[in-house]
Chain A
Amino acid sequence: MTTASADSDNALVELLPAADRANFIAHCEPVAFKLGQVLHTPDADTAFAYFPTRGFISVVAPLASTPGLEVGMVGNEGMVSAQLILGVGESPFRAVVQGAGDALRISASDLREQLGECPRLKAVLDRYVAVLIRQFATSAICVRYHAIRPRLARWLLMCQDRAHTDSFRMTHEFLAYMLGVRRAGVTQAAGALQAAGTIRYVRGTLTVLDRDGLERTACACYRADRLAFSSLLR
Chain B
Amino acid sequence: MVTLAQARQNSLLAALDVADAERWLRQLEAVELPLGAVLHEPRAPIEYVYFPATAIISMLCVLENGASAEIAVVGMEGIVGISAVMSGLASVDRAVVQRAGQGFRLRARVLQDEFGRIESVRRPMLRFTQALLAQTSQTAVCNRHHTLDQQLCRWILMSLDRLSGDELAVTQELIANMLGVRREGVTEAAIRLQAAGLIRYSRGRISVLNRPGLEQRACGCYAVVRSEYSRLLPVRSAH
Which residues on the A side are within 8 Å of B89 (C-beta)? Answer: 127, 130, 231
Which residues of B pack against A, CB within 8 Å?
59, 61, 63-64, 67-69, 71-72, 83-84, 86-89, 92-93, 115-117, 123, 126-127, 129-130, 132-134, 136-141, 143-145, 180, 220, 224, 228, 231-232
CB distance from A65 to the nearest CB of B (A): 10
A137 touches B71 (CB 8 A): yes
- Of the stretches A23-31, A141-149, A160-168, A200-208, the one at the interface is A141-149
A184 at the interface (CB under 8 A from B): no
Which residues on the B side are within 8 Å of A59 (C-beta)? Answer: 137
Which residues on the B side are within 8 Å of A71 (C-beta)? Answer: 136-137, 140-141
User: With A and B bound together, what is the CA distance between A226 and B83 in angstroms?
Assistant: 17
Binding site secondary structure of chain B: helix
Which residues of A pack against B, CB within 8 Å?
59, 61-64, 68-69, 71-72, 82-83, 85-88, 90-93, 119, 122-123, 126-127, 129-134, 136-141, 143-145, 180, 220-221, 228, 231-232
A129 touches B138 (CB 8 A): no
State which of B72, B88, B116, B144 has its C-beta within 8 Å of the C-beta of A143. Answer: B144
CB distance from A73 to the nearest CB of B (A): 13
Top 5 closest A-B pairs, CB basis?
A130-B87, A180-B144, A140-B140, A61-B137, A71-B137
Which residues on the A side are within 8 Å of B69 (C-beta)? Answer: 140-141, 144-145
A137 touches B93 (CB 8 A): yes
A136 touches B126 (CB 8 A): no
A61 touches B83 (CB 8 A): no
Which residues on the B side are within 8 Å of A220 (C-beta)? Answer: 63-64
B63 touches A85 (CB 8 A): no
Which residues on the A side are within 8 Å of B140 (C-beta)? Answer: 61, 69, 71, 136, 139-140, 143
A141 touches B87 (CB 8 A): no
State which of B63, B84, B139 has its C-beta within 8 Å of the C-beta of A145. Answer: B63
